[in-house]
A and B are shown apart, each in its own frame.
Chain A
Amino acid sequence: MAVEFALIAAGALLLTGIAAIPLSHHRRAAELVYGASALPCGFAGVIGLWALVANAAPTTVTLPLGLPWIGAHFRLDGLGAFFLIVLGLGGALNSIYAIGHGRHETEPGRVLPFYPAFLGAMLSVVLADDAFSFLLSWEVMSLLSWGLVLVHHRAGGTQRAGYVYLMMAAFGTMSLLLAFGLMTGGAENYGFDALRAATHGPAAMAAVLVLMLMGAGSKAGLVPLHVWLPLAHPAAPSHVSALMSGIMTKIAVYGFVRVAFDLLGPVPWPMAMVVMILGGITAVMGVMQALMEHDIKRLLAYHTVENIGIIFIGLGLALAFRAEGLTAAAALALVAALFHVLNHSLFKSLLFMGAGAILNATGTRDMERMGGLIHRMPVTAVVFLAGCVAISALPPFNGFVSEWLTFQAILVSPDLSPWGLKISAPAVGALLALAAALAATCFVKVYGVTFLGRSRGAEAAAARETDRWSLGAMVVLAGLCLVIGILPGFVIDLLAPVTQALLGGAMPHQADSPWLTIIPVAASRSSYNGFLVAVFIALSAGTMAWAVHRFASRRLRRAPAWDCGFPDPSPVTQYGAGSFAQPVRRVLGSVLMRAREEVFMPPPGDLRPARHEVHLRDLIWERSYAPLAAFIQAAATRLNVMQTLTIRRYLALVVFSLVSLLVVLTLWN
């Protein structure tokens, strides 16, 4: 029954989308549409949770849609149920946020119909059980999100973002199409059951995996296919950005996991190594580009790239362990990756929502014009701080748990026998540690520059707290980040049926361990107890604060800032986003992004102002995309003559093509 209910939810979302077309100019349209979207999402999340907790057997259904006589197959199993939770939870909270946030939308008619349908399409990707419905849902999801990116199509850069996104989406779908084509191997059954039953040689498997890395990886934002993501995600309205970054990238991960772990057999280890190393590079490149960014939404989008990298490190490790037959370790790595999927969907949604609230309050995305918002938006400041701590992988929040599990999986890697894996795993571990540490740096920058310090602009000084719907959604997300960080054992147990089905093994049961400690392998090896850590910190901080105030001193005097005796009257003398990143830019950016700083100091007597300029280069774009674009441009110019031929010549072309095809056919036989 579960899959039917989930399909009803997807259908309800699509219908809401259609109903929103005539409704969209109604005064209360936003409340109605977003409210109507939240319910099916929440329902789908509950179904997913139920299916995992009850460890329900997979259910299938065939609908007479799509290709005639074949129909569309849908199925809900453990993996699907987990992503249903991610999607349902994120979608529902995001819709609640949008009830408040959507009021600020200047063009509701361009958002309201697409938004619920986009959610419905993502839902049906997760439920699809044959290649046709999977690809169709995927493509609908891409197109609808493309429509949402172009909502503010007159704003600067949006059109380019939409164009690049469309190109990459088309490229990704084409790769997926080829991957599924390879998997069927010429047979005429596109059902996932048939794909699962088929066996492939190592070369075919490697080819499918590469195609999946291109197809799903481009949607998820894997370097070097990530270029569209930091353009497109920020261009959309903030609640859509939250959806795209928090949820849609996870649907892409779902596609990869579905194919790599479920449909394909154990892939050979060199491919696992490729996935792992790509993940490591993605994590570091994503966070480096985020650090250099001043636009708060684009910065968050780059962090999505980083987190996708972390997820793919886990997936690569899981593939490697699986190739070597180490089931328990593979389960650990896969749980780490999927746990990070859930965590990232929570805190990235939260952060994008916070960024949306800031955007509404100040009217700008440029961090260099913010500051001091902690005084103006007190509740947003608290929840945004929770999101920052969570994404920086700091205990006791949830981001730490999944990265810790990934590290534990890396520490098991010496058990692998191929030398390439043994040696590359610690190197990837170093990349992961670097990415985590840089993420913390980046979020000190984000929070310090936007919320702390003094206001750098009039808008920031006049900012007002956001509405209650938005705050409610953000508070729930922040609470979930903390609760999951404190009680991670339950999530790990929830994932047990998933790994059991995909890998034939699971991590040890966690809920029984004393004090709810999580023990990935064995107690003597490693353990972490988020609950006790949180309790200890709260207790010792509370006791100490109480004791100091009770017994020592509680007097307090306000005075101007000391600043070593150099009080600077102008808020622009504070450290800003660019200056905060300067040390890292100089140390790492000079290598990875060819960062250059130019100081122009006019000679005495010259009235020109002194200037300090930073030049960054996006080497990935310059080395791969720009030459490709130039080549296509050149080829198109060459072929341009074809556009202005006479009718006789066009006919000649047709005849020539026909004849040459016939010649080929005769030679072939």
Chain B
Amino acid sequence: MNATAFDVAHMLAGSVVLVSFMMLYQDRLLALLNVFALHAALLSAAVAWQATIQGAPHLYVTAAIALFFKAMIIPAALHRIIRRLGIHREVEQVVGTGITMLAGMGLVALSISLMLNLTASADALAREDLAFALSVVLLGLLMMITRRNAVSQVVGFMSLENGLILAATGARGMPLVVEISVAFSVLIAFIVIGVFLFRIRERFDTVDDSALERFRGDVG
């Protein structure tokens, strides 16, 4: 394969990982949403580039879906939600930023070494892509467990799903149907969570999920 083509693919996927880190670091909700939009936009660029170099036109559809829904519609909707909820304050975090970042680095290292060990026979592009995709998924999970605010947990979930899309594009021959169904299931999950958010808010007057724990009787 052409070296430049590989370098560009590496750069775009690497930028997606970098933006995942930026999301871990963002402690304000609005900024977090903007970074998430950037995440999705970069993802769509990465997918579009994969479509070009793989000669797989159906991936353009995936890229368009990512760009339209995840980089525009969902961030805008979340913007509306947090405006209506009136929460522009800082995101509370369970562990400190430094430790979260270090843990994130550990996860990236883990996924790189794991993927390179497992896929020794695959071609370089797919290996690289899968390693980054797994990193993005794990970073999304990390974000979900380090945040208390339900909105940022939703964002973490969405970024996790971006990682899945990245993985799907890297692995050749993944039919479009699968991707579309993933995209739709995420959309539905988003709607459900959105409704759920308002329910939490109505009942407990906050979207901090530690409020829920109190009602389970586990804490305090």
Contact = CB atoms under 8 A, between A and B. Distances in A.
A214 to B, nearest CB: 26
B58 to A, nearest CB: 33
12 contacts: A419-B112, A419-B113, A419-B116, A419-B117, A422-B113, A423-B109, A424-B109, A427-B105, A427-B109, A591-B96, A591-B98, A591-B99
Interface in A391-437: 419-420, 422-424, 427
A423 B96 contact: no
Interface in B72-120: 96, 98-99, 105, 109, 112-113, 116-117
B199 to A, nearest CB: 37
A164 to B, nearest CB: 30
Contacts of A424: 109
A423 B113 contact: yes
A351 to B, nearest CB: 31
Contacts of A427: 105, 109
Contacts of B109: 423-424, 427
Nearest to A430: B105
Interface of A: 419-420, 422-424, 427, 591
A423 B114 CA distance: 11
Which 7 pairs, one residue from A and one from B, show the smallest C-beta to C-beta distance?
A: A419-B113, A423-B109, A419-B116, A423-B113, A419-B117, A420-B113, A591-B98
A427 B116 CA distance: 19
A420 to B, nearest CB: 6
A669 B188 CA distance: 70
Given A423-B109, A591-B98, 9 more contacts: A419-B113, A419-B116, A420-B113, A423-B112, A424-B109, A427-B105, A427-B109, A591-B96, A591-B99
A419 B127 CA distance: 14
Nearest to B114: A419
B142 to A, nearest CB: 17
Interface residues of B, number: 9
Nearest to A422: B113
A591 B109 CA distance: 22
A658 B109 CA distance: 56
Contacts of B99: 591
Contacts of A423: 109, 112-113
Contacts of A420: 113
A422 B131 CA distance: 15
Contacts of B113: 419-420, 422-423
A591 B96 CA distance: 9
Contacts of B116: 419
A423 B105 CA distance: 11
A591 to B, nearest CB: 6
Nearest to A420: B113
Looking at A419, A424, A591, the one whose CB has the most chain B CB atoms below 10 A away is A419
A427 B110 CA distance: 13
A422 B113 CA distance: 9
Contacts of B112: 419, 423
Contacts of A419: 112-113, 116-117
Nearest to B113: A419
Looking at B105, B109, B116, the one whose CB has the most chain A CB atoms below 10 A away is B109
A422 B116 CA distance: 12
A18 to B, nearest CB: 55
Interface string B3-33: 0000000000000000000000000000000
A591 B102 CA distance: 12
A132 to B, nearest CB: 43
Interface string B120-151: 00000000000000000000000000000000
B136 to A, nearest CB: 18
A427 B109 CA distance: 10
Contacts of B105: 427
A423 B96 CA distance: 24
A324 to B, nearest CB: 16
Contacts of A591: 96, 98-99
Nearest to A590: B96
A144 to B, nearest CB: 43
A507 B21 CA distance: 41
A569 to B, nearest CB: 41
A273 to B, nearest CB: 11
B107 to A, nearest CB: 12
Nearest to B98: A591
B11 to A, nearest CB: 20
A532 to B, nearest CB: 38
A420 B112 CA distance: 10
A525 B114 CA distance: 30
A564 to B, nearest CB: 33
B29 to A, nearest CB: 25
A420 B98 CA distance: 23
Nearest to B117: A419
A591 B113 CA distance: 28
Nearest to B96: A591
Interface in B153-167: none
A223 to B, nearest CB: 18
B52 to A, nearest CB: 30
Looking at A420, A423, A427, the one whose CB has the most chain B CB atoms below 10 A away is A423
B95 to A, nearest CB: 10
Nearest to B108: A423
A420 B106 CA distance: 11
B96 to A, nearest CB: 7
A423 B108 CA distance: 10
Contacts of B96: 591
Contacts of B98: 591
A427 B102 CA distance: 10
Nearest to B95: A591
A422 B109 CA distance: 10
A419 B98 CA distance: 25
A419 B116 CA distance: 8
A21 B105 CA distance: 60
A424 B116 CA distance: 15
A423 B106 CA distance: 10
Contacts of A422: 113
A284 to B, nearest CB: 12
A44 to B, nearest CB: 46
B124 to A, nearest CB: 15
A655 B149 CA distance: 67
B130 to A, nearest CB: 14
B92 to A, nearest CB: 18
B160 to A, nearest CB: 23
A422 B112 CA distance: 11
A419 B99 CA distance: 23
B94 to A, nearest CB: 14
Nearest to B116: A419
A572 to B, nearest CB: 34
A424 B106 CA distance: 10
Contacts of B117: 419
Nearest to A419: B113
A199 B112 CA distance: 35
A250 to B, nearest CB: 32
A419 B117 CA distance: 8
Nearest to A423: B109
Nearest to A588: B98
A438 B105 CA distance: 22
A473 to B, nearest CB: 44
A423 B98 CA distance: 19
A433 to B, nearest CB: 15
A420 B96 CA distance: 26
A422 B105 CA distance: 14
A591 B103 CA distance: 14
A419 B112 CA distance: 8
A591 B117 CA distance: 33
A518 to B, nearest CB: 32
A452 B174 CA distance: 70
Nearest to A421: B113
Nearest to A424: B109
B115 to A, nearest CB: 9
